[in-house]
Structure 1
């Protein structure tokens, strides 16, 4: 995976999560009976992610960060299709466990992929550039969602987000195109 593929796919992933995050919070609050259930749901997510990071880190050494990022994108696409039909807080807790695992996959794999794509002499500059563009996409997603939500249902946002996660997975899945490879084929 190239730096450009990583940047574009992560920008899409962050865009997707930025679109639904505020509405997911509303969903969590509406399905629960109290703020303690809301807090427990987020605690389950965070604890699951924390406990799975070491395992995912060692797993990535065997299977590679690209496969883990693919698992994350397609896993999140499926989760986004399920969220609008959740009806109980128990279902939310189960989804939080799944999202905790998937979130840890993304966070660990993204950092591994980024570390492999940067030139040591310019790591800071490249990481800064990377975060600039992924953050801009997140901000634009939140702003745009604020305007388009008046025309869509909240459930439709989750379906749109599922499609965006699939698009990010397709970007990761593509074989990288390099100048040397293209030049070799043209000879």
Structure 2
């Protein structure tokens, strides 16, 4: 029996487009607050709005774009979103006030939310059903690589070359997302618009009910991940490990990459439950080791454990969200998952900041250990206990 082909030109193209989208996001995530503080002498809260406004507009646009995917077609929505995204990148050169930048961030977030929703839906249709866990794992890896490379490129650009070069690099990367998006060719049935048979803007047309429970688990655990994104470098400085802080997400990505060929295949063969519980334990152990880190080895060991644990859990959740939905509602399932996940990230950045003001980062990450374990109970009650899991291979035979 021949193995279904995964690494097609179109799979590579949509993964590259997704990589460029998230590379743009992470380049600006770490640099725009610096730019706002230096150029406009804004307050820290105003600088933080650069990210908040972007994420809020992405979250709001996703349910709508999930509906448009059903009605207009995947590629049309994808290309429209990429044009908005690249177009917004041009405007960063012009604003003379923080308000102008916030308007651009609003527009940029809309393009980002639409494009990432469309990309997740398109890739789910391109991946052979029997290899969906493996394929989604590799697709999400493009996001992980952007997370590692983006801050490095962004900080290098703004510190060594200045803001104009930063925005030039951002624009070039956004155009890369557009060009690779244009190169995607979908099967003819995916290019046809679907009839607008259902009433617009009903709740069921904005969210996919079957994806909500697993998305809530993902959003719940994303709060811990936001604590890493926001404060792990500050924590490294606090424990006198600033010299290795930049290596945290590099090690995270390396071990994620090493685990990905195995975990994706196991997800396809044995289902999500077999993957979830070992990975949630590794995630919790990683947070515990991080909270007790007293040297470079333990600090980077925690990154390796979290890379295998959380780095595997995220694509697993997204795969389950898509797999549980009807094929024609995969767009809404993708939108539902990413909206709830991003809500967890945005909420986590705010809540973790409040908690961090009351205790040390070591204590914060120690508490995160138990929070992650609560996530295991949440998964059991929201997903495991409600259905007898069918392996993806059996599902592919039934379809």
Matches within 5 A, 1:38-187: 38-147=47-156, 149-174=158-183, 176=185
Q: For 1:81 and 1:60, locate their aligned partners in 2 and report how far apart those are by CA, in whole Å.
A: 26
Q: For 1:92 and 1:48, locate their aligned partners in 2 and report how far apart those are by CA, in whole Å.
A: 14
How far does the alpha carbon of each residue in 1:28-86 deviate from its partner, in whole angstroms, 9 at most, with x for none? Answer: 34436433433445443333333322221111212223222222333222222211322
Q: For 2:44 and 2:156, locate their aligned partners in 1 and report how far apart those are by CA, in whole Å.
A: 28
Q: For 2:103 and 2:168, locate their aligned partners in 1 and report how far apart those are by CA, in whole Å.
A: 19
How far does the alpha carbon of each residue in 1:3-24 deviate from its partner, in whole angstroms, 9 at most, with x for none? Answer: 1211122122222333333212
- Once the two structures are TM-superposed, the CA of residue 105 in structure 1 deviates from its matched residue by 0.6
Question: Which residues of structure 2 form unaligned runs of 5+?
Answer: 1-8, 188-399
| Paired residues of 1:77 and 1:161 also in contact (CA < 8 A) | no
| Paired residues of 1:53 and 1:104 also in contact (CA < 8 A) | yes
How far does the alpha carbon of each residue in 1:112-140 deviate from its partner, in whole angstroms, 9 at most, with x for none? Answer: 11221222222111111122244224423
**53 and 168 in structure 1: CA distance in 2 versus 1, 3 angstrom threshold:** closer
Structure 2 counterpart of 1:11, from 19, 35, 41: 19
- Once the two structures are TM-superposed, the CA of residue 147 in structure 1 deviates from its matched residue by 4.2
- Once the two structures are TM-superposed, the CA of residue 162 in structure 1 deviates from its matched residue by 0.9
Q: For 1:49 and 1:133, locate their aligned partners in 2 and report how far apart those are by CA, in whole Å.
A: 19
Q: Compare CA radii of gyration and give the structure with the larger one.
A: 2
**38 and 142 in structure 1: CA distance in 2 versus 1, 3 angstrom threshold:** closer
TM (norm. structure 1) is 0.78
Question: Which residues of structure 1 form unaligned runs of 5+?
Answer: 179-187
Q: Which is richer in helix?
A: 1
Q: Which has the higher contact order (CA 8 A, sep 6+)?
A: 1
**139 and 123 in structure 1: CA distance in 2 versus 1, 3 angstrom threshold:** same
The farther-off stretch of 33-42 and 50-59 is 33-42
Aligned to 1:184: none
Q: For 1:167 and 1:99, locate their aligned partners in 2 and report how far apart those are by CA, in whole Å.
A: 16
Structure 1 counterpart of 2:28, from 14, 20, 33: 20
TM (norm. structure 2) is 0.40
How far does the alpha carbon of each residue in 1:90-109 deviate from its partner, in whole angstroms, 9 at most, with x for none? Answer: 21231232123112212321
**26 and 59 in structure 1: CA distance in 2 versus 1, 3 angstrom threshold:** same
**63 and 177 in structure 1: CA distance in 2 versus 1, 3 angstrom threshold:** closer
Q: For 1:95 and 1:173, locate their aligned partners in 2 and report how far apart those are by CA, in whole Å.
A: 24
Residue aligned with 1:86, SS = coil
